[in-house]
């Protein structure tokens, strides 16, 4: 994490992927709980 907020696009893909995965897991858990 040496880069400041100048190059967020290089760290964005990984973060976005991680967030998407967490979101998918939460959605699946919610679906399982609601069902």
What is the reported pTM? 0.38
Token pair for residue 21? 């995965």
* Residue 10 CB contacts under 8 Å (≥ 6 apart), including other chains: 3
Residue 3: φ, ψ to 5°? -75, 135
pLDDT, tens only, 1-35: 565 566 556 666 666 677 777 788 888 887 777 65
Say if CB 11 and CB 3 are below 8 A apart: yes
Q: What is the pLDDT of residue 7?
A: 56
Q: Which of 29, 8, 27 is nearest to 19 (CA)?
A: 27
Per-residue confidence (pLDDT) for residue 34, from 0 to 100 = 63
- State residue 5's pLDDT score: 61
d(C-alpha 25, C-alpha 2), whole Å: 30
């Amino acid at each position: 994490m040496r880069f400041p907020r100048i190059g967020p696009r290089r760290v964005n893909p990984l973060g976005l992927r991680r967030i998407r995965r967490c979101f998918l897991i939460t959605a699946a858990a919610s679906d399982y709980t609601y069902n």
